[in-house]
Chains A and B, each alone.
Chain A
């Protein structure tokens, strides 16, 4: 990797100020995506702003009917948190299925959501549960956040401080892992929310998306049988050596049914 300046601020304000002052800065969370990209010289920031010393970003809190997970909270912390298991158990289950133990000990929810990898698991939860992304300057609804492959609504230098999830017991996530990378070939999160059923699918397309046909059917009749009538079109699905578009479209149905069955 190329040389860079390293900063370790302890407040959000300092982090943002450092970002704005630098030529080409990047925030560093667990480094699990960023460091390999720098080693491969695909990324060459002039400045790295390490978020790990900012205490407030590492907290998990339940308040006012929502669950606030700080952006630098690791996957294993979510998986093992009693608060998460009580308020939104689906998140603990999802986090425990990310990568392997080493990955879960380093990777963070903020890094995952900011990165918006088309095959990442968390985006399905953020969109499927109707969460919102809290940043240093505003709060963005999940429906407006994920835009395209590795593209989000974050402005340059905007720092995710936390993700706000509604508390819920009626949600499930079913993942079909890519056998090589163990990211999601297809991951489907189904949730019964105050505003109706939400179905979010990751892995299948350029970015996480809501399967509105599935939502409609499930709103009328929340059952595996009802879901069986929906077949997603394969036109916009990803295709690679592990799974073609047809197969992915089919897996969306299978995983959605498994999620529904387990709620």
Chain B
């Protein structure tokens, strides 16, 4: 693959349709005879349902059907499953409450669907929803993460509201390390709960054809195949061969659209009952209430250091909020995507982590951009910065002292992962230089003269992407293998249709994957189209999340392209009447070695379909190849983020004056797209650090249920970013890529918080660092002096 296309800033192929309003999102699709669904949702966080009164709604204008959670029970539908089985320290299986698609007997979070009204128009459905009366017996809600285990049980068969008590690492060696330490730094942190807020809300259309008994579901999914599998195998809505799931253009997911939810499942079930298509599009307030939330950890951690500042041991104890039910991947997020990342970029010899996952009467919590890795990075990088401050060592220097050296790879961490490659000093050095770290003191003086407080903060993150080596994932409890598929169809006239089991919902796969295939096959990028998101077109795929698409899905395509070349070589040999060994492929041409003879790949493609004389036992017509790629290890993107802030002490407002991100994502196919992913991730990370916070009151009512109160970052909240790259190509996949989709959201929160605390000369504060919190911290410090 020697081609100038790898690493080229090709403009995105998909943008023409997006910026001219020609994207086709689920809500843009309308089917003949379509009806509309509107859900009746529980106003209470925790209550027993004593009765449904639906006859008024059934008789309201335009109403086609009213279905309740009781009918779900009567039909014996399966619950929504969690795809990852975890075990507690004592070997017992995690506790999993039944998650009905609509509650019939008891509700466990505010906003949980209990009934659905289906009508000819959405307004009619919504009017009739007001006519549905539900009798509730309100119960005490469990809301707070850290005390959930001590409160009354939500589920009779789940003691102490505990899903599991999980552990990883060597407890004994870690306490030994702590005992021998010259210094121990301790920290207590809350990783604030977030609401994902994709630009396009969740939406679905279920279309059951009574004639063919086929169900087509259009849905805003990051992984339509997984949705089909769950519908068929678990909820038993329809057999797989009669079920087609289409995820057309999808406007952002950030994890929240990986999961299978109540609403699309309910309308699929209901469409079969009424024999008509049903559309549901979430209102924004429904998104706030019911999209799976992210983060929500409470953590205590301690880091043991020797006299020279070498890390000896790390001990972490975390309570993670699962919400009311286990969402699709929820159990894996605070464990395999969190505990395993606690080594960070450091040589810490002993690490022990315990995670208690608890249920509360809040919306389910699951993977959200970064998923576990931001939480791990946050703990570690806040802790390291605090240690540097306590020991009066420069925070960059303390990190450097403990880095895994670039000659120490592959490196086995004490928390299960084996890093294949990296160069942490390279990204640190580049970030220090780009951020003018050396010049910070003079900038701080200038701020001080202007009455402002200036601070700088670092974060050296690592993450594990490229989910996942299937055998490893399986041994850890994953319900499915995590390979990816890719198919390349070279059409007779030489254009190419690429099919991938991954899914693009903003990431630019239609460009990146076309670049990759173009580079491999020497076919112009304009002749290559990428197809994704339709179980009727691809036979299987695992979807897009965890920054896996290029590293795993791209690798599958790379393999498929190799197969196309191999087949083309055979065809060329046949046409040119020579042996395959005498053919070499380069830049779109099959050439006979040491001769002027050759055929272009387009000529070969044409021949592949129109030939009359292939020796059919040895050579089949056609030029379509498929490959499945199962990674042998995770990939390990890593880098250094440096944030510089200026605080106005009069108001407590923090301004980010400079943000530098230096990342090592391995080989870049399209640096423009990669930088866009970094920018988006940084804004989400900065949003978490300064602005965003999901708040429930003590009754379990969502306080931040709209943009009036949930503070999304806006363009003017962030600076123009300085993004730089270093590169150590991934050693074990054919593309050399590691993944770039989440790094921004993983690395940035601790960099921002470290900068804020550095400006204040303090070491403790939870996110988000709102102006009031910062102002209060300044007041408290002044009062205690």
Contact = CB atoms under 8 A, between A and B. Distances in A.
Interface stretch (A10-18, A144-152, A189-197, A237-245): A237-245
A251 to B, nearest CB: 7
Given A241-B695, A251-B651, A180 B772 contact: no
Interface string A199-223: 0000000000000000000000000
A243 B651 CA distance: 11
A181 B708 contact: yes
Interface string A227-245: 0000000000000111110
A180 B708 contact: yes
A20 B45 CA distance: 43
B4 interface: no
B707 A247 contact: no
B651 A241 contact: no
A242 B772 contact: yes
Nearest to B712: A180
Nearest to A176: B651
A247 B709 contact: no
Secondary structure dominating the interface of A = loop
A250 interface: yes
A141 to B, nearest CB: 31
A255 to B, nearest CB: 9
B771 interface: yes
B775 A242 contact: no
B44 to A, nearest CB: 19
Given A2-B127, A176-B651, A250 B707 contact: no
- B-side interface size class: 20 to 34
B282 to A, nearest CB: 14
B770 A181 contact: no
Interface in A151-195: 176, 179-181, 183
B127 A241 contact: no
Contacts of A254: 650-651
B464 interface: no
Interface in B697-745: 703-704, 707-712, 717
B415 interface: no
A140 B691 CA distance: 41
B131 to A, nearest CB: 13
Contacts of B691: 179-180
B776 interface: yes
A7 to B, nearest CB: 21
B699 to A, nearest CB: 15
Nearest to B130: A41
A150 B712 CA distance: 26
Contacts of B707: 180-181
A258 B693 CA distance: 29
A180 B710 contact: yes
A241 B695 CA distance: 9
Interface centre among B130, B693, B703, B771, by most chain A C-beta atoms within 10 angstroms, is B771
Nearest to A251: B651
Nearest to B651: A254
Contact of A247 (B703, B710, B772): B772
Contacts of B775: 247, 250
A136 B703 CA distance: 40
B770 A242 contact: yes
Contacts of A183: 708
Nearest to B691: A179
A249 B776 CA distance: 13
Contacts of B693: 241
A241 B703 contact: yes
A41 B126 CA distance: 10
Nearest to B717: A179
A241 B707 CA distance: 13
Interface string A1-29: 11000000000000000000000000000
A179 B711 contact: yes
Interface in B734-785: 770-772, 775-776
A181 B703 CA distance: 14
A111 to B, nearest CB: 17
Nearest to B772: A247
Contacts of A240: 709
Nearest to A257: B650
A243 B775 CA distance: 11
Interface in A61-82: none
Interface in A96-152: none
A221 B680 CA distance: 50
Nearest to B285: A40
Interface centre among B123, B651, B691, B717, by most chain A C-beta atoms within 10 angstroms, is B651
Contacts of B709: 180-181, 240-242
A38 B428 CA distance: 54
A48 B709 CA distance: 29
B683 to A, nearest CB: 14
B192 to A, nearest CB: 12
A125 B614 CA distance: 86
A261 B704 CA distance: 36
A239 to B, nearest CB: 10
Interface centre among A2, A241, A251, A254, by most chain B C-beta atoms within 10 angstroms, is A241
Nearest to A119: B708
A180 to B, nearest CB: 4
Contacts of B712: 180
Given A241-B695, A241-B709, A179 B650 contact: no
Contacts of A41: 130
Contacts of B695: 241
A185 B722 CA distance: 32
Nearest to B710: A180
A183 B704 CA distance: 16
A89 to B, nearest CB: 23
Contacts of B711: 179-180, 242
A247 B776 contact: yes
Contacts of A180: 691, 707-712
Nearest to B704: A241
Nearest to A243: B772
Contacts of B710: 180
Nearest to B693: A241
A241 B694 CA distance: 11
Contacts of B708: 180-181, 183
A173 to B, nearest CB: 16
A250 B648 CA distance: 14
A202 B672 CA distance: 45
Interface string B638-678: 00000000000011100000000000000000000000000
Contacts of B771: 179
Contacts of A247: 652, 772, 775-776
A41 B693 CA distance: 27
A52 to B, nearest CB: 24
A244 B651 contact: no
Contacts of A176: 651
A175 to B, nearest CB: 12
A194 B132 CA distance: 60
A244 B775 CA distance: 12
Contacts of A2: 127
A250 B712 CA distance: 25
A247 B711 CA distance: 18
B651 A179 contact: no
Interface centre among A179, A243, A250, A254, by most chain B C-beta atoms within 10 angstroms, is A179
A254 B707 CA distance: 26
A178 to B, nearest CB: 8
The 4 A-B pairs at the shortest CB distance, nearest first, are namely A180-B711, A181-B708, A247-B772, A179-B711
16 contacts: A179-B691, A179-B711, A179-B717, A179-B770, A179-B771, A180-B691, A180-B711, A181-B708, A240-B709, A241-B695, A241-B703, A241-B709, A242-B770, A247-B775, A247-B776, A250-B775
Interface of B: 123, 127, 130, 650-652, 691, 693, 695, 703-704, 707-712, 717, 770-772, 775-776
Given A179-B771, A241-B693, A242-B711, 13 more contacts: A1-B123, A41-B130, A179-B770, A180-B691, A180-B709, A180-B710, A181-B707, A240-B709, A241-B709, A242-B709, A244-B772, A247-B652, A247-B775
